[in-house]
Structure 1
Amino acid sequence: MNWTDERVERLKKLWSEGLSASQIAAQLGGVSRNAVIGKVHRLNLPGRAKSGGTPTAARPKRPTSAPRAPNYAARVTTRTVARPAGATVIKEEIEVDFDIEQEIVPAGNVVVPMSRRLELTELTERTCKWPIGDPLKEEFHFCGNDSPDNSPYCNYHQRLAYQPSADRRRAR
């Protein structure tokens, strides 16, 4: 397949309109998606414009150090979906609103055990190996409380680590 000046100009036009390589290949005919991608790279064309709608306003990013609220009502997420359009599949980004209703049920009489603050070299088969803190910080340690039945965790950390699958499904 030869890239004539006419076909190259049409490729540039379709690329700037935001069409995918598959869509451009279908419109040009006689050329594969990979050939279109290769030509785009050889021509050093800029990234495509987003297709399928108006550009969305950028949402401000949440600072990473700020704690997240444990119970919020709605969340907007951008998802990429594919839909058929003739012989090609078009991928679009859509915004999906999730309404999340989390019921917080306070557990009665929860006792958080004091950790024994053991180092890695101090752990045995009968001590809780639940990590506490950032491993890169000096304060990092393990729980170290007694663990029953050769379990890696104490009773409290077992309840955190091993949740029944029915509870996990309900939390989604």
Structure 2
Amino acid sequence: MGWTDERIELLKKRWAEGLSASQIAAELGGVTRNAVIGKVHRLGLSGRAKTTTSTASRMRPKPTSQPRRTAVAPAHQPSFASRGNLALAVAPQARPTPAPRIIPIEVIDTQPLTCERVTIMELRENMCRWPLGDPSQPEFRFCGGRSTPGAAYCPHHAQIAYQPVNDRRRDRRVSVPFN
């Protein structure tokens, strides 16, 4: 159904009485709540009938002669804005950052380190493939020490390369400086 002059007048009257868009749509019939809201905006109907006992005035506390004391939020709880489009946004608070703990990684030598310092052309099966130096430099080599069959590294370099899961998680949280 279209918007006739009679239906528009009924819409204006019911809107001024304070009926909701859903109630007006049900009374008019043939239009949705959103159609009513759209027409209200196109007509520029902004004001609503105010009742003396509106819900906002009933819920608002009466002013007292003593000033209201506000509780201070503890430092560990975020404070929130109470109005506007940032009503639920967390207000930034400066918190001191604790100094990172440095936990040394223990490397236990089970066998003495014997690096052969071999090139990639000299590298064979059961030789340690631990890189030594900068790959872009001519003096770049691999460890070449004896590794167990199927392993990529000698026991010394395997301890550095393969850390238990708990140690790896700890290392992500705490930065360990390299020497």
Q: Same fold (TM over 0.5)?
A: no
The structure that has the greater radius of gyration is: 2
More strand by share: 1
Q: With the length of structure 1 as denominator, give the TM-score of the two structures.
A: 0.41
Q: With the length of structure 2 as denominator, give the TM-score of the two structures.
A: 0.39
